Each structure stands twice: as structure tokens, then as C-alpha cells.
Amino acid sequence: MPSGAMPACVHCGKPAVVALDYANIDLCGLCFTCLFERRVWKANREFKLFKRGDRVVVGVSGGKDSSAMLFVLSKMAGQIGFEILPVLVDEGIEGYRDKTLEKAREFAKKNRNVSVFGKKNSGKGSAVKIGLEKAKGTIIIVQDADLEYDPDDYASVIAPILDGTTEAVIGVRSTDRHSDWFIYYFGLLGNGAITLLTNVLYGNNAGEYEGCYKAFSTRLVRTIEVKTDDFDFDNELVCKLLKRGVRIVDVPIRYYPRNYAEGKKITWRHGFLILWTVLKYRFID
């Protein structure tokens, strides 16, 4: 191809808008959307994720990950007959979410089977709490709608609960990508410090605590009162479970890191708040 020419979609020949590096192909917007949705349907068939009458809680901020998730799930919900409960997540950062939250609300209004919960200045914790309250199933998966993770890992995250080994599972990102995410995530010190402090203070030996797939039995989680409405929700919950002597199993999960420029919102401030949360619940409450 002459330099500067627009690559063509391998399926239909129209100008391509995405390059899938892992498959070494270029796709136009429509063909990419089709491929993406086919993969979601395939994951659903394979792992029997959603069935008629289910209730699925989706935290939405109007950003691209959660919007894509809500869009695809809404289509599936209509066809399969499950219910979607989007919960607005607004971290309360001045001027950051105003437009995207408005978009999320508009989307909900246009879709009859979608109603919206959530309040101003509410973070991840607040959304997860609404989810826990509304949940109907026996197992809860808490996760970010983050394209860095792989829904194929649902099965391994809930397996130890299904076979009765435990009631709490945390996903630990596979170590073959260690050098990548270690640098980008909380930075070298951040994630390591959280893991070390939690393991030492609570007598545990998990590989990490910041992986974004975690599963719990609904029964167990409903017995814990989590105070935070923010992104340290998982940490407070896990600390309280460990303090109570609950055995938490960790399982490896896949992770495809992106860098700060591609939309990471976690900073060193998050790291410090989490460290404080871990410390606080060991000695008080």
C-alpha cells in the first residue's frame, strides 16, 4: 500500500477505522462493532452468563468502557429478556463527568428497559452498594467495565464459590505481564505496598488486591457493612472479611494493560487512600 493511503477493512473494503494488532487486521466501524458483539454473545453462550429474568447491575459513568458495555448489554437484554440496572457513577471530580453523565442519562431514557439509580458525587462504592441491594443471584461479581480485563475469566473467578471451597475470591493479574502493569498501575510502590500491608496486617498471602475481578457469595457480602462510597470499596470489604477470618481464594486472571494516555484515571492519591483504608480497618471498627 502506498504510504499515506487509508487502510481498507478486510471484510468489506470500506475505509478502516481500527487496527486489531493481535489479529493483524484492519476493520471499518460497522465490521468492528459486529465482531465485538459476536464475541460478547459467544462468551455469554459459553459461560451461560445471562438468562431470562436475570438482573444485571451496570455501573456507568458515560466514559467509553462503561458506555460500550451498557450499549451491548442493552441489546442482549432485549433479546434474551433480562433486566439491566445501570447505576450512575460520578466521582465528583469538578467538570470531569458532567457531559458523559448526561449522555448516560439520555441513553437510559431512550431505552425502556433501563432505569437509572445513583446520586451526585457518588463513586464506585456507592454504585456497588446499590447493586448489592438490588441483586437477586447467589453470587456477586464486582468488576470494572474495563477493556483491560477478559470476561472469559468469569468462570474461573466463580468456580471456587460454586464448588464450595470459599465464599470470597479475588482475581490476581497474571504475572507474565508484570513489568507492564506494575509500572503503569499504582506505580512500583503503590500496588506492592497495598499487597504487603494487607497481607501483613491481616495475615493473608494474596498475590495482589487491585485486580478488578472479585466474586463473593451474596449472603456473605450482605453481612458486611462497607462505609466508603469511593473506589476503596473493594479494599474495605476485603479487609473486613479477612478480619472476620473468612478464607479468600485468589485465582489468576488475564490483564491487557493500557497506559495513562489511553485513559487511566488511577493516580498516586488513590494509592494513599487505599493504604489508609487498609490501615484504618485493622485497628478500628
- Give every CB contact of residue 142 below 8 A, 6+ residues apart in sequence: 128, 131, 213, 214, 215, 216, 233, 234
Instruction: In angstroms, give the least distance from the CB of 10 to Zn ion.
Output: 8
**Overall size of the chain counted in residues:** 285
Nearer to Zn ion, 18 or 249 (CB): 18
Position among 6, 12, 23, 196 found at the interface with Zn ion (CB under 5 A): 12
Nearer to Zn ion, 27 or 242 (CB): 27
Nearer to Zn ion, 34 or 188 (CB): 34
Instruction: In angstroms, give the least distance from the CB of 19 to Zn ion.
Output: 13
Residues 19-58 within binding reach of Zn ion (CB under 5 A): 28, 31
Stretches 10-18, 44-52, 185-193, 219-227: which one binds Zn ion (CB under 5 A)? 10-18
Position among 11, 134, 227, 282 found at the interface with Zn ion (CB under 5 A): 11
CA distance 152 to 44: 9
Nearer to Zn ion, 38 or 109 (CB): 38
Does the footprint of Zn ion cover residue 9 (CB under 5 A)?
A: yes
Instruction: In angstroms, give the least distance from the CB of 36 to Zn ion.
Output: 13
How distant, in Å, are the alpha carbons of 217, 243, 278 from that of 284?
25, 11, 11
Q: Please, what's the largest Cα pairwise distance for the chain?
A: 66
C-alpha cell at 43: 462468551
Q: Report the amino acid identity of residue 61.
A: S
CA distance 247 to 241: 8
Instruction: In angstroms, give the least distance from the CB of 1 to Zn ion.
Output: 17
Instruction: In angstroms, give the least distance from the CB of 245 to Zn ion.
Output: 55
CA distance 85 to 11: 35
CA distance 205 to 199: 5
Nearer to Zn ion, 32 or 117 (CB): 32
Write out the residues near Zn ion by the rule CB under 5 A: 9, 11-12, 28, 31
